[in-house]
Amino acid sequence: MSKTGIKRTSQFVLRLTALMLVLLLLVSCGSGIPSGEGKPADSGKPNETTQPNETTQTNDQKDPEPNVPGQGSANTAAESFGAYVEAKTEVLATLSDALANNPGTELDTMSLLGVMMVDMALLPATSFGLGKEVATATLGILGAADVEYSEKGNEYSIKYKGNEGEKYEVTGEFDPKVNALKTAAIIDGKETLVSEYRQTSFGYVSQVYTINDDGKASVYHLAISGKNGMVGISEATSAPAGLSGNEAIDFPKESKEWYAIDGDQFTGVTSDGRELSFKYTPSDD
């Protein structure tokens, strides 16, 4: 693949993921949810039989609290997931743009494709906490069939069938107190991906464990602080221990391969051990 082709491929993957996420979030936000699903739809004025605690919950949903780490910064797991992916996508787009436009590092952009694409497998998480009707409408865009949605407290499961009859399941466990979500993707009964993120004082830390079709596994570690961030890439033989929330902002540097952006300064170590350090100038694309 040519250098121009690599650049276009990475940009396409990022834009596709971002587009699908935005589209699914719009569907989720725009769908009314039957009261039987346990999630009130926005029906205007509350009726006279509404209990005080129900009214308070509805008002909280319309007027969310400020995004303060560790204080339940999202009303639902779906909103939390959307905010995290948006932050992650912005940092990955910058890292990819930097590598693709710096002479001699164009091919290294390919290393980021894996971590760019994992959120595609987790798109059902955009319906966590929003009920079966929203999950069905959302996944219908992807051509999914036989959607099953279950929710117990802050634990979620969405099952569905793909176009060729494959059985998919995406599970999630949300901790609103620290704004953390752990998700897993399962295909035909086999776990293929485990993703986890936590909000921190500086932004987010996250990690993704993914198993390829050939049985090889990789781990991606990320730290995100506004437009700045870092991603580490390593081979793995087993799933890593869960995040503690106390990880340092540079913890992805523990990986053999890593890339970081801090303002206009790009640094990193490539898969073949080359050390990178250059000034990043955004492309015109």
130-146: pLDDT as tens digits: 999 999 998 988 889 99
Residues 6+ apart with CB under 8 A from 259: 95, 99, 108, 111, 112, 230, 231, 266, 267, 268, 276
Q: How far apart are the first and last CA of the chain?
A: 20
Cβ–Cβ < 8 Å for 9, 113: yes
Using one digit for the tens of pLDDT, what is the confidence trace for 56-68? Answer: 333 444 343 334 3
Using one digit for the tens of pLDDT, what is the confidence trace for 142-195? Answer: 889 999 999 999 999 999 998 888 999 999 999 999 999 999 999 999 999 999
The residue extents of the domains of the chain are 3-29+77-279
Specify the DSSP class assigned to residue 270.
-
- In angstroms, the CA 219 to CA 225 distance is 20
Q: Which residues pair with 222 in a beta bridge?
A: 206, 231
- In angstroms, the CA 165 to CA 274 distance is 44
How much is the pLDDT for 62?
A: 39
Helix (H, G, I), strand (E, B) or coil at 60: helix
Span 74-90, average pLDDT = 91
- In angstroms, the CA 82 to CA 73 distance is 12
Of residues 7 and 114, more confidently modeled: 114
Q: Is 143 left (phi over 0), alpha (psi -120 to 50) or beta?
A: left
Instruction: Tell whether the model's pLDDT for residue 40 goes beyond 80.
Output: no
Residue entry with tokens 């509404």: 50
Helix (H, G, I), strand (E, B) or coil at 192: strand
**How deeply is 213 buried, as exposed, middle or buried, from its count of CB atoms within 10 A (0-12, 13-18, 19+)?**
exposed
Instruction: Tell whether the model's pLDDT for residue 107 goes beyond 90.
Output: yes
Helix (H, G, I), strand (E, B) or coil at 187: strand
Report CA-CA distances (Å) from 1 to 16, 100, 219: 20, 13, 25
- Work out the mean pLDDT of the chain and round it to a whole number: 80
User: Dihedral angle at the C-alpha atoms of 268, 269, 274, 279, nearest 10 degrees?
Assistant: 0
Helix (H, G, I), strand (E, B) or coil at 253: helix
Span 81-109, average pLDDT = 94
How much is the pLDDT for 261?
A: 98
